[in-house]
Structure 1
Amino acid sequence: MTIASSEKVSLPVGLYTATDSHTIHFHQLQRSTSDRIRNRRVNERTGKEVELDDIVKGFDTGDEYVLVEPKELDEIAPGRSRSLEIEGFVDLADVDPIFFDKTYYLGPRGEEYSKVYSLLEQALAKAGRVGIATFVMRQHEYLVALKSENGLLTLHTLHWADEIRDPKKEIDTLPGKAKASEEELTMAEQLIGAMSMDWDPEQFHDTFQEKVAALIEAKKAGERVEKAEPAAEPTSVVDLMEALRASIERAGSPKDTGGKATASGHASTSSKGAGRKPPAKKRIRSAPEEDLTGLTKADLYKKAAAANLPGRSHMSRDDLVKALTSART
């Protein structure tokens, strides 16, 4: 594919998938057997299987079906785009995040295009703009944004404007701007301040998929599977101020400062009793470390998931023991 513009600037690039899914996929089997279940194309009236060549597409108009042959769709489908024609450049901030769909990496198709590739990436980064274009892939036309991101060019497919649903039509319980006192608004802002954090996606992981993997390992080993704790029942908020105050106290609770946290999350100490000798620290008897060698692989995996050990899904039982032991030291 080639990035092109009306000014005849062209840049051959390769398109690479930027994301992947770690969802665990299952086959359908008949219970108590290893027999796969296959989906079949069956006539709902006769119950007989239908050959692929005998299937046409039908659009339901309400009163009847409009039949469309597969070759008719092929005949009107646009051919695959050889170039990405940039219509213009817009401010990135003007593109609402709801429009973004999938992301692809772009790389120069050959060393001779490295300079123009880098030049376009740097110019987009400095301008804070994205190139808007359309192109065809797999018989579908896409609206896309060409963006500079962390030193490389990325291509983001965008939703068409008429694909974005109106939230006011979709949600019939929107409150609008609820009336709130200055004190309530201040405390809500303090809660946000107390819970402020740096964005680090590595801190978050798909715990359910890890539990599914642990479930599979446990069933392979013939071990008993522990059920998850039931979710806490939601409580009705009677006093908003009291709920905000409690949330701020929890969010700003001190860990190492020894002082009481204020609403902004900072610890404060009292001058009363200053100079008084602090009490001697009590000796804490540490519990004996658990013997990991006696645990099943499923139990070891659970502990590795709790410790957020990288690469645990590919480790053998012995590897899990070594990794967990190293993590203790």
Structure 2
Amino acid sequence: MARALWKGAISFGLVHIPVELHTAVRPDELNLTMLDRRDFSPVGYRRYNKRTGEEVTWDDIVKGYEYEEDSYVVLTDEDLRQANVAATQTIDILSFAAAEEIPLTYYEQAYYLSPTRGGARVYALLRETLRKSGKVGVATVVIRTRQHLCALICLDDAIVLNTLRYPAEILDTDDLDLPSTRTGELKPKELSMALELVEGMAEPWRPQQYHDSYRDDLMALIEKKVKAGKTHAITKPSRETREPGASNVVDLVELLQRSLRGHDGGGKQDKGKQETSHVRRSGSTSRTSQHSKSDSGARKSPAKRATSSTSGARRA
């Protein structure tokens, strides 16, 4: 069973729901080790006493707050808990809000909440209340040394706690050179074609069809260097620089027209996919090209090995 990161209760009016907090996401990153370029040995980190220079073990490390220069107040885990016992053990629901009212920039980190002994029935009550009302619970919770604003969301059979950023953490867009939102500056024909193309490309959300194709490419490069015996070869920066593609409204309109024509007639679906791939390639990376890359046999094996090695390391 997964180890809980936090144990406490959800405060729902006069009701308390005993719960545990569990990690809901796992970043799938390629772990790179820092090496000394002189002999390619791994570079390690030392925890040392800055006054004596002696190495310090974990057992001798405590946390402290610097209240004056070079003067510290030692704080143990018990001190952090006793500062406000209720806040450190309770997810306190302050209000309920419609999910669409919370901008995406506020969402930060997702966790699963599961009921502990005696809390299953009330947990189910809150979950179904969230589901039926279409609301999310806006709450506060203290995790480690920080109080987080959070949203409690119903997801299938689970309640998800998603920490939220505070308004002061969200930067405004005043300093950005953004185009005006006045629709009068857009040609009605351009907007109409773009909307029609979006409708033609719309499909049900199937997250399983997406994956990190860049990781596959990077693993293929690593495998190539290993096979060529160039594991210690340091690749120098290329002289060639690629400038970001400039926006070309005339070409974009033409591509939109061609893409929309591809959706007409008997070959509507196939032609539409071919034409929309041209539009995607004219911008950034094409989703179609990503899928074709991921289907190549040469890139499947290193990706699988990377995934298995990563999961193995995590289990260890």
Do the structures match in fold with TM over 0.5? yes
Match of 2:191 in 1: 185
SS of equivalent residue, structure 2 residue 171:
coil
Question: One-letter code of the match for 1:4?
Answer: S
Identify which of 132, 139, 142 aligns with 1:136.
142
Q: Distance in 1 between matches of 2:224 and 2:200?
A: 40
For the structure 1 residues 51 and 261, does the alpha-carbon distance in structure 2 shift closer, same or farther, using more than 3 Å as the test? closer
Contact 2:194 2:256 (8 Å CA) reproduced: no
The aligned amino acid for 1:244 is V
Is the contact between residue 79 and residue 136 of structure 1 (CA under 8 Å) also seen in structure 2? no
Distance in 2 between the 1:184 and 1:32 partners?
57
- State whether residues 98 and 134 of structure 2, in contact with CA within 8 Å, keep that contact through their aligned partners in structure 1: yes
2:65–2:74 contact (8 Å) kept in structure 1:
no
Cα deviations by residue, 1:180-237 (Å, 9 ceiling, x for unpaired)? 2222222222232233232222222112222333333344444679x9xx99754444
Structure 1: 5+ residue stretches without partners: 60-64, 267-300, 317-329
Give 2:198's aligned amino acid: I
**Alpha carbons of structure 1 residues 18 and 248: separation in structure 2 relative to 1, 3 Å:** farther
> 2:42 aligns to what?
36
Aligned equivalents of 2:181 and 2:39: distance in 1?
Answer: 58
Question: % of aligned pairs identical?
Answer: 25
Matched residue SS, 2:92: strand
User: Does residue 68 of structure 2 align to residue 93 of structure 1?
Assistant: no
| Aligned partner (choices 169, 173, 194) of residue 163 of structure 1 | 169
1:69 aligns with 2:69: no
Deviates more, 1:12-21 or 1:22-31: 22-31
Alignment match, 1:249: 258
Q: Quick check: 2:49–2:55 contact (8 Å CA) kept in 1?
A: no
1:174 counterpart residue number = 178
Q: Which amino acid aligns with 2:95?
A: G
TM-score (ref. length: structure 2): 0.67
4+ runs deviating over 6 angstroms: 41-44, 50-59, 259-263, 307-310
Counterparts of 1:314 and 1:99, CA distance in 2? 31
**CA shift at 1:82, angstroms?**
1.4
Which residue type is aligned with residue 177 of structure 1? T
**Larger Cα-atom Rg:** 1
Q: Which residue of 1 aligns with 2:157?
A: 151
Tell me if the contact between 2:63 and 2:75 (Cα under 8 Å) persists in the aligned partners. Answer: no
What is the total number of aligned residue pairs between the two structures? 268
Q: Can you list the C-alpha shifts for 1:157-177, whole angstroms capped at 9, x where unaligned?
A: 0101111111123x1x11223
Q: CA RMSD in A?
A: 4.4
Matches within 5 A, 1:238-277: 238=248, 240-250=249-259, 253=262, 257-258=266-267
Equivalent pair of 1:304/1:312 in contact (CA under 8 Å):
no
The normalised TM-score by structure 1 is 0.65
Distance in 1 between the 2:110 and 2:127 partners? 16
Corresponding residue for residue 215 of structure 1: 221
Pairwise CA distance, 1:242: 4.3
